[in-house]
């Protein structure tokens, strides 16, 4: 049984991050960011366009193709109070694609800003979408933790919920940027390969990639593949408990095609992950495979990866076998893709199964993402972060990146 990380003290994962080291805007050319290279304990630096030089030909690189949605909607009450409704995840229907296609009603789990000013009754907003005048109403339902069930209704069947967000939603940039969203963020806060709408935060390691870097990777003989994990607002949720046992990880939705499972098997269950979201998806696949090895008849709900699952179940199933179990599950059900969810927490004590190298940005002090990195580099994260702080690297979402090869 693996060492259980529940009693890790988050205060041991702190470092000084002055505000001026947080990149408020991206560089004018995204692939000109700095790249820290950590290989077997040694640290060096280069420019991001050199990334292909550090990767072995024939390897498999996995990207998260999620697209950030314009999830913030603003309503003004007759009193003048401004209410912000921030769409977190779809409830009715709970499938992202179906929800975006709705033409009269959609329900979402939302965080409401200025909630105390919204006593009762629906919020209304007149708008013109695709040339159609519509009235959008938001009605508050039950409270779920820090979020609320919100029913959205509008009076024109020609208009989808996706259309409404596209025209009237605002892109939610990270709170630590301490600035308003600008028009330029609509482009710079999306990866060049983003396709599948559903995230409320970008998978930021991917922001450095450009068509020329992707082409150079392909020319090097690196296999590029995409999966989807929709990033939730919980990614910014600070760890407030002294020990990480008290921190509840948010649920995030993943979609992985049958062809990628096969590709991973062909690569002996070894992959280079772009971003912590790809890392969490790939490692979750292993634990889903373990569930299926133990229970081939598992339901979709039973495939959900619980927060502490990797530390509480014996993981003696080989990674390739775990992936073959998923392939068998998809074949039995005639499915082209695995759709499920994960709450996995990756922290020191975790044994990586599929990810052999990762591209990732520099994360907030005392965050679960810093724990993930520490687990990957066997606790040697200080070496990486001390170098970055001492060599003028830019931090967080719009900052520079690192290539980690333990």
Residue ending a domain, among 124, 140, 170, is 170
- Same domain for 148 and 262: no
Which DSSP letter does residue 186 get? H
Looking at the DSSP bridge assignments, the partners of residue 357 are 272
**CB 165, CB 34: distance < 8 Å:** no
Range of 399's domain?
5-67+187-404
CB atoms inside a 10 Å sphere around CB 224: 15
For 367, residues 6+ apart whose C-beta sits below 8 A from its C-beta are: 13, 238, 239
Q: What is the reported pTM?
A: 0.93
Residue ending a domain, among 117, 145, 170, is 170
253 domain residue, yes or no? yes
- Percent of the chain past pLDDT 70, that is, above it, reads 99
CB atoms inside a 10 Å sphere around CB 200: 24
More confident residue, 216 or 233: 216
Phi then psi dihedrals of residue 380, to 5 deg? -90, 25
CA–CA separation, 99 and 94 (whole Å): 7
**CB 187, CB 61: distance < 8 Å:** no
Residues 37-94 have pLDDT tens digits of 999 999 999 999 999 999 999 999 999 999 999 999 999 998 889 999 999 999 999 8
- Over range 23-32, report the average pLDDT: 97
- Over range 167-192, report the average pLDDT: 94
Residue with tokens 């940027």: 177
Torsion, CA 230, CA 289, CA 39, CA 216, rounded to 10: -60
- Same domain for 191 and 134: no
CA–CA separation, 109 and 94 (whole Å): 10
Residue ending a domain, among 170, 203, 218, is 170
CA–CA separation, 81 and 84 (whole Å): 10
399 domain residue, yes or no? yes
**CB 209, CB 86: distance < 8 Å:** no
């Amino acid at each position: 049984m693996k060492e259980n990380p529940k009693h890790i003290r988050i205060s041991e994962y702190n470092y000084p991050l002055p505000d001026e080291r947080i990149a408020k805007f991206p560089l004018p050319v995204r692939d000109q960011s700095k790249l820290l290279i950590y290989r077997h304990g040694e640290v060096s630096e280069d420019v991001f366009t050199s990334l292909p030089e550090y990767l072995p030909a024939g390897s498999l690189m996995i990207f998260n193709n999620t697209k950030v949605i314009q999830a913030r909607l603003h309503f003004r009450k007759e009193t003048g109070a401004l209410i912000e409704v921030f769409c977190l995840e779809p409830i009715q229907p709970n499938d992202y694609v179906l929800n975006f296609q709705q033409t009269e009603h959609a329900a979402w789990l939302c965080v409401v800003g200025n909630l105390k000013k919204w006593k009762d009754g629906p919020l209304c907003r007149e708008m013109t979408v695709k040339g159609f005048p519509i009235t959008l109403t938001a009605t508050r339902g039950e409270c779920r933790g820090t979020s609320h069930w919100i029913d959205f209704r509008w009076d024109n069947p020609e208009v989808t919920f996706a259309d409404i967000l596209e025209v009237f939603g605002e892109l939610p940039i990270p709170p630590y940027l301490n600035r308003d969203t600008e028009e330029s963020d609509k482009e710079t806060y999306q990866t060049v390969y983003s396709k599948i709408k559903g995230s409320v935060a970008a998978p930021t390691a991917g922001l450095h990639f450009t068509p020329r870097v992707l082409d150079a990777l392909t020319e090097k003989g690196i296999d590029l593949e995409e999966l989807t994990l929709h990033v939730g607002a919980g990614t910014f949720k600070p760890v407030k408990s002294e020990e990480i046992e008290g921190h509840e990880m948010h649920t995030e939705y993943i979609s992985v095609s049958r062809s990628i499972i096969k590709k991973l098997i062909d690569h002996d269950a070894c992959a280079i992950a772009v971003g912590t979201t790809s890392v969490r998806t790939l490692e979750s696949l292993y634990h889903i495979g373990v569930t299926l090895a133990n229970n081939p008849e598992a339901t979709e709900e039973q495939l959900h990866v619980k927060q502490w699952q990797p530390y509480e179940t014996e993981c003696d199933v080989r990674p390739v076998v775990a992936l073959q179990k998923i392939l068998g599950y998809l074949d039995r059900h005639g499915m082209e893709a695995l759709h499920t969810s994960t709450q996995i927490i990756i922290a020191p004590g975790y044994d990586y199964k599929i990810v052999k190298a990762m591209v990732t940005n520099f994360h907030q002090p005392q965050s679960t993402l810093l724990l993930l990195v520490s687990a990957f580099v066997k606790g040697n994260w200080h070496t990486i972060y001390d170098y970055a702080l001492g060599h003028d690297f830019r931090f967080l979402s719009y900052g520079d990146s690192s290539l980690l090869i333990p």
